Amino acid sequence: MTQKGKTTLVTAQAISEIWQHGEFSTLTTPDGVHIAYCSFVHEKPKADIVISSGRCESYLKYQELIVELYQRGCNVFALDHRGQGLSERLLNNPHKGYVNHFDDYANDLGMFVSQIVKPRCYNQSKLIALGHSMGSAIAIRLMQKKPSLFKAALLSSPMIAINTGKLPFKMALPIAKSIRFINNLLSNTPWYFLGQNNYQAKPFDNNPLMADLHRYENFIQLYQVKPELQLGGVTVHWLVEALENTERLMRDLTKLKTNIVLLQAELDTIVENKAQDIFCQQLHRLSPHLINKKPVVMARAKHEILFETDDIRSTALSALDQLIKQTTDDNI
């Protein structure tokens, strides 16, 4: 039982049946990194959804959502970002969260859409991005680099900015850069940021991700059964890249041409909700037809809205259903 009652999970049988329709493979980036992906092409598709998941995640964690979208008649495509999930890790310690340049993520996603999604999708001109957290930041960055790629995007708890706690963002970046400088001076191996470690499963109580016990237990069990999915904390270098990406996202707002629905988790402690507010306000001021002035606040939701309790998830999926309908309308 969850705080709000019984959880309605997609059955293992439904997942097994629909999983048989999937294509599971890898593609290789220009710099030689192997990226894992899945694609589910419906017999009678009505929309094309590209999932860009969050840090530490894999498309395997999204089985329930993928099945739900497929049952709605959607083609569904998802990749594991470089350095995590089933994709190739970038350091000798596979638990360290690392990326050389944050834009590498966006370039990988763009290549995935170009090489895998478009040849299989229903309507190339009306692709819909579904991003979560870091995956939302990646999707936004790609939409800035390729403004016509996606027709619409639903962004769940987007990592416009990391929650730096009591430390102001303007101080966080120079401090992180200073630590990275020392790291590079003393070692060829990227250090974990202060307090970060290898993956460790954490108990459900007081977790910052979700309030749904069953979905949390499924997530923990998946990472125990498939330890290759496990990812620990972030390196100093990753943190610098992520903080600098915040500056790029806000600097290049004028490049966005995609219709965006932004879902904000009321109880989020992972990313900075104020940054999402500013993002909406500034983009609305520039292009009021692209986004509402304020995020859609998901009451009582923790960070992982798409893995929350049924009542919260149903609201999020209703927003996605509405976006699909608006985007795939023949008059749009």
- pLDDT of 331 above 70: no
Judged against a pLDDT cut of 60, whether residue 310 lies above it is answered with yes
Residue 240 has pLDDT above 80, yes or no: yes
Give the pLDDT confidence score for residue 88 in this predicted structure.
Answer: 98
Q: What per-residue confidence (pLDDT) applies to 192?
A: 98
Evaluate if residue 2 carries a pLDDT over 50.
no
Mean pLDDT of 224-240: 98
Within 10 Å of residue 231's Cβ, how many Cβ atoms?
22
Q: What is the mean pLDDT of residues 168-176?
A: 93
Give me the pLDDT at residue 326, please: 95
Evaluated on CA atoms 256, 261, 265, 266, the torsion sign reads: positive
Q: Which CATH architecture has domain 12-328?
A: 3-Layer(aba) Sandwich (3.40)
Q: At 307, which amino acid appears? A: F
CA distance 307 to 18: 20
The residue ranges of every structural domain in the chain are: 12-328
Q: Is the pLDDT of residue 195 over 60?
A: yes
Helix (H) or strand (E) holding 67: helix 63-71
Q: What is the pLDDT of residue 276?
A: 98
Mean pLDDT over 209-236 rounds to: 98
Mean pLDDT, residues 284-309 taken together: 98
Question: Residue 161 CA to chain centroid, in angstroms?
Answer: 13
Average of per-residue pLDDT across 43-66: 97
pLDDT of res. 163 = 96
Report, as an integer, the average pLDDT of 60-88: 97
pLDDT of residue 120: 96
Question: For position 3, what pLDDT does the model report?
Answer: 44
Whole-angstrom distance, CA of residue 22 vs CA of residue 42? 10
Alpha-carbon span 281 to 170, nearest angstrom = 20
Q: What is the pLDDT of residue 139?
A: 98
Residue 4 has pLDDT above 50, yes or no: no
Assigned token pair, 34: 């192997």
Greatest CA separation found in the chain? 60
What is the pairing mode between strands 128-132 and 74-79?
Answer: unpaired
Range 259-279 average pLDDT: 98
Cβ(70)–Cβ(18) below 8 Å: yes
Average pLDDT of the residues in 126-148: 98
User: What pLDDT is recorded for position 12?
Assistant: 86
CA angle 31, 37, 43 (to 5 degrees): 140
Give strand pairing partners of 17.
none
Residue 1: pLDDT above 90?
no
User: From CA 327, how far away is CA 259, in angstroms rounded?
Assistant: 9
Alpha-carbon separation of residue 205 from 3, 126, 269, 309 (angstroms): 12, 41, 15, 15
Q: Is the pLDDT of residue 330 over 70?
A: no
Closest CA to 215 of 84, 58, 64: 64
3-state SS string for 8-47: CCCCHHHHHHHHCCEEEEEEECCCCCEEEEEEECCCCCCE
What pLDDT is stored for residue 329 in this prediction?
85
Q: What is the pTM of this model?
A: 0.96
Average pLDDT value for the chain: 95
CB 97 within 8 A of CB 84: yes
Pairing of strands 152-156, 34-40: unpaired
